[in-house]
A and B are shown apart, each in its own frame.
Chain A
Amino acid sequence: MKVEFQMDTYKSEIKPTWCPGCGDFAVLRALQTAIHGLQLEPWNVLIVSGIGCSSNLPHFLSTYGFHAIHGRALPVAEGAKLANPDLNVIVTGGDGDGYGIGVGHFIHAMRRNFDITYIVMNNQIYGLTTGQASPTSEKGMKTKSTPIAGVIENPVDPISLALASGATYVARGFSGDVKGMTDLVQKGIEHHGFALIDCMSPCVTYNKINTYDFFKSRVYDLSKEGHDPSDMKAAFAKAIEWPFAQQARIPLGLFYRTEDVPTYEDLELGLKKGPPVRQSLGIENPDELLREFL
């Protein structure tokens, strides 16, 4: 394969503002490596994010970007994708953004099976607002907003939720394994349909429980234990190992993938003439249109 775009081509001049050691650096690296690996034209990549530490990510790459309001990255991305399906649309954000305030959009985007790649930097805490509980915070975790009894809710399990909602590519990565994460992201972008890559991305400042060491001692690679990602039942069985069951082992890698489901764009009647952004404006036969009103 001819390498037209070097790694640096995808980098912007803006330096990340994350804390040293933040898991998000690994996700940025994985994404940059993946789009380099695919040799995507930077101007045909659109990265949409919401609000949170991780949602600053688009600024650090040289593609198009839309840094939206909190929790609304997915609908913004869906609108852009429908206007111009030729764009490679990638959505990045955090667990608060995607699984908390934006969880309604998350479910609907998946059941529609848009050809969008959603990378969630899941640190199980609210970082930018200085350490409150997040929808994926573990039960019992003490945070600024749960200082006495700790979290008393069950965490959202994004993997099970994605499987149940119709996502056609469901994976979990870990910032301690950039190579594995890069592979998951690259294949997610290549996937024709909605791809969720839930990336466990430790917050070194506010989450003292789910640290790099916490994950390193628990993770294992699904592909090395004979998991068949075309088997949805097996995928559910693997998904509920953590965080639902709070077992010591945390599966990483591809839970589920199917290419048998048409994307929303494949079925949308309004796209049959081609990308709307390239269509001419106005109506050529208004009399025909007006006839029903006469």
Chain B
Amino acid sequence: MSKRDLAIRIGGAAGDGVSSTAESFAKISARSGLHTWTYSSYQSVIRGGHVWTQIRGGLDPILSHGDDPNVVVCLNQQTMDVHQADVLEGGAIVFDVDSVKPDPTRIRPNVRLIGIPLRKKAQTLSPNALMRNTVALGAAVALFDMDFRHVESAFKDIWGDKKPEVAQQNLQAAKLGAEAVAEMGGSLRLGLAYSNQPKYLMTGNEAICLGALAAGVKFLAQYPMTPASSILHWLAAHGPQYGVVVKQVEDELAAMNMAVGAGFAGVRSMTATSGGGFSLMVEAIGQAGMTETPLVAVLVQRSGPSTGLPTKTEQGDLNLALGAGQGDWPRAILAPRHPEECFSMTAQAFNLAEIYQTPIIVMSDLYLGEGYRTVDKLDFNVPIVRGMMAADGGTAKSYRRYEITDSGVSPRSLPGTKGFQYIAATDEHMESGELISDVLAGLPEYVEERRKMHAKRMRKLDGLRKDTPRPELWGPKNSDVTLLSWGSTWGAAHEAIGQVEEKEGVKVNSLEFPTIFPFHVEETLQMLRGAKQTLAVEGNYTGQFARLLRAETGYKPDHFYGRSDGEPFASRDIADKILEVVA
């Protein structure tokens, strides 16, 4: 059987141009028709350190960045030292023969050493030091027998019509790399039959931006924070032409409060951040819950606690999202698994926010938010439902903004609408918006008013539970093990299931929770009914989801596999854990 996939790792120091070289390769892979998936390991520095990106491409859909690569491109000695032992048999290591030395004792048999004078070759074309990356990129493309027209088109995209001479120079440089490979034994002959039908390639964060645009977002307020910053970058560059106001603000308190103001004034409003910024937002998101203001908050998790590992992934903010804000107020938490869901769930979140007039949290993480994945063509024809609005006509005197209803949802009125003026208050209030807190709190009839108003708001959870995606059981029934996961862990879990089935004949299925809250208790218990033993897999220390599951259903998972060292789950690690459980 010929190979169905490939993996390449490109490494160097920060400032070496690793990420742009890797992005170019990912684009070339996607244009070759491969399902593509990237993972970048980087640090919180602008220069130095060790950064690397792994790009995996497959003829069939792939669900993780994979394990050991076929090719490693070493832009410095450290990359060689760290990664040379990982290259698969039959693979190759590309490096600058003048500055990087391999250690043959650490390299697997039948791995070719492609030492090219990268810098010298590049200097024949341009004094720009980064051009050596392009020589290496050309070598990699040749090793995988990819069509060079994708290299040409990728460069054209980067430098475009503005700098055609730079695009041309880079193409020459790439060809020098390819020629060097031809002189040193030619390609790896993996035999991948590329379709050359281009696929869409994007990050989870970009998919969130697209979902927001499809749903009609008109306002984003954000403070930069890895790994959510690319949402700000993308919408700042693309939003204005679609009438979207994008505001970088002084801090996350302002970000959430501005989003509240914009949502109150009647636009589809959002903010995005990571755990540290979300921590600053908690009082203001509760304000949205109390004033019944729609907004979407995107929480792209990174490794905590506190500043933690800013450039590393984790799923450790579930408790934070669940408990954000004092007191009880209704919220929904959605956790997309892949970019397609980043798109569709963000669009859905805007509907839920307006239908239920409350904040909706979309939780992703660094691995999903920053990694590139190929996706199917996104359908921008998403439903747009704006919820209950006060009818035209009438007067302010008869309008009750917070009218007590069975659904908990009351007719909303937007500032500027004649006759429907009201005050949205963060103090507890009556149906009219008048405060209970000031002179009425504690009087017997207002104890009852408070009770009714609180219950009205909380009733929205019934509707939210009905309208949010149900848990999904994937894989064979009557399995030996059922994995329990949420968010980006899904991909590695599915691959692990395939691996243990193929190697050991162990049957495993996967129960996944695209909605974290409100919890779908009945459906979950029904799906768990046939499970022989369960293994909760999540990227945090304490099993935050497993605890939620137990709190909501009384069900305690049999086993827990948590990872919070900053790295994403690898399918083989999950597979090992499954085998340990069934042993």
Contacts and interface: CB of A to CB of B under 8 A. Distances in A.
A87 B418 CA distance: 12
B505 to A, nearest CB: 40
Contacts of B244: 270, 276
A83 B210 contact: no
B100 interface: no
A67 B414 CA distance: 15
Contacts of B420: 43
A279 interface: yes
Interface string A52-66: 000010110011111
Contacts of A166: none
Contact of A65 (B216, B287, B378, B424): B424
Interface size class of A (residues with CB under 8 A): 35 or more
Interface size class of B (residues with CB under 8 A): 35 or more
A24 to B, nearest CB: 14
Interface in B217-253: 218-219, 221, 238-240, 242-247, 249-251, 253
B267 A276 contact: yes
A269 interface: yes
B213 interface: yes
A198 interface: no
Interface string A90-113: 000000000000001100100000
A17 B438 contact: yes
A80 B262 contact: yes
A68 B426 contact: yes
A78 interface: yes
B201 interface: yes
B242 A283 contact: yes
Given A80-B415, A286-B214, A293-B206, A276 B424 contact: no
Contacts of A76: 257-258, 260-261, 264
A72 B284 contact: yes
The majority secondary structure among interface residues of chain B is: mixed
Contact of A79 (B265, B423, B424): B265
B138 to A, nearest CB: 22
A64 B199 CA distance: 49
A46 B415 contact: yes
B418 to A, nearest CB: 5
Nearest to A101: B253
Contacts of B414: 84, 277
B438 A79 contact: no
A293 B200 contact: yes
A294 interface: yes
A277 B267 contact: yes
B425 interface: yes
A236 B219 CA distance: 37
Contacts of B202: 293
A43 B417 contact: yes
A207 to B, nearest CB: 21
Contact of B261 (A80, A273, A274, A283): A80
A65 B377 CA distance: 43
Interface of A: 13-14, 17, 41-44, 46, 48, 51, 56, 58-59, 62-69, 72, 75-84, 86-87, 104-105, 108, 268-274, 276-277, 279-283, 286, 289-290, 292-294
